[in-house]
Amino acid sequence: MALSLTPSLQDLLVSSLMILLVLLYIAYWRSKYQSLFPVDWPIVGLLPTLVANLHRLHDKITEYLAASGHSFTGNGPAASNMRLFVTCDPDNVRHIFTTNHDNYPKGHEFAEIFDIMAGAFFTMDGELYRRQRAKTHSILSDPRMVASMASSCVDKVRDGLLPLLTSMASTRTPFELQDLATRLMFDVTAMPVFGVDPGRLSPDMPSMHASAAMDTIMEVALFRHTVPMSCWKAMRRLKIGPERKLAAAHAALDVFVSEMMEKARKQEAAPSSMSMDVLSSYINDPDYVGLLHSILITYMVAGRDTVGTTLPWFFYNLAMNPRVVSGIREELAHNIATSTCNGDGVPVMFSPEDTKSLVYLHAALFETLRLYPPGWIERKTVVADDE
């Protein structure tokens, strides 16, 4: 008996066979190379890959970049019309951030992702960014501000961190290094920003609602980077998922900033060891009316997160490399001719001048920043084609 197929049935069989072959090829390709290259799926693009690896995105992107020669391309979901170019090549980075900087702004979507900092220099582009950057530079480079930041750091380490560590050592109390570093940098940042000490680094370990809210902002911002804007905006309107958590974080930070500003106002008439703070530099400036909360939160996030994440990684690296610890100790003994303890057994503070010549210590810190950068990814948009 002869079997005759109609043209439509033949086309269906051929199409089904082709689809089967493609699926088999994809399965083979993924099993062989999935750890090397991200899967750029039809319609949804890189979205499944990003969401599946959200818990270890830094490591995964590093693997992809290493396997692809420091750069790879991909697409966002079809509805977003987004094309992605991910790179860590030094020449590309230099071109984007320096040589042709104006062609690569942050873009309006970046500002919406970090909406709690809207209007602050962190989310701005163009002339507004340049003006705010100039003001920020003038504040942070002012000798009075430099002295205030140095004083805050020394006071907090001497009167807060060292007594706390001494007490924990004497009682063999375990502690979480990340929490301790976060508390330290939260206070050290807030003191020159507001002119008052929030006192989060103390033996009773007070609540860290504001610091936890900052963590939420960065976590949800990463989520917002990986999904289409329409998706997270819909979640925000419905108050579900990460967006519900973010709304609570926004409220907590607004309360914190208001409380700190009130404390600063009450302290104005009292003598203070601080000669300058960020709040006083903006509060009477008419150009920043309505932006004060955003600006102060930006300073807090920038100050707390950079050093606060670097310190735990630094001590982790030291724990993994005892040889480096020995080198730092030898350098300290060679360069600083002072006893490590006073007569009461309390550690002696090293002055900034004492540490300037510690080349090996500086190198260990720089290597930590290279391996575990606090700002490990930067998003840019493109104004025009650039070849």
What confidence tier does 1 reach under pLDDT thresholds 50, 70, 90? very low
SS3 252: helix
SS3 310: helix
Cα distance between residue 367 and residue 327, in whole Å: 15
Residue 130 one-letter amino acid: R
Q: Which of 300, 294, 383 is nearest to 114 (CA)?
A: 294
Segment 74-123, tens digit of pLDDT: 888 877 778 889 999 999 999 999 999 889 999 999 999 999 999 898 99
Q: What's the average model confidence in pLDDT over 348-357?
A: 76
Q: Which of 217, 53, 231, 237 is nearest to 120 (CA)?
A: 217
Q: For residue 173, give Cα distances in angstroms to 17, 131, 180, 304, 313.
A: 66, 49, 13, 25, 21
Cα distance between residue 104 and residue 108, in whole Å: 12
Q: Where are the domains of the chain?
A: 36-104, 107-312, 321-377
Strands 71-75 and 83-87: antiparallel
Residue 364 has pLDDT above 90, yes or no: yes
SS3 14: helix
**If you compute the radius of gyration of the chain from its CA atoms, what whole number of angstroms results?**
26
Please state, for a pLDDT cut of 90, what percent of the chain lies above it: 46
Cα distance between residue 122 and residue 114, in whole Å: 9
25-29, 123-127, 203-207, 250-254: least confident range: 25-29
Predicted structure pTM score? 0.81
Classified by CATH at the fold level, domain 107-312 comes out as Cytochrome p450 (1.10.630)
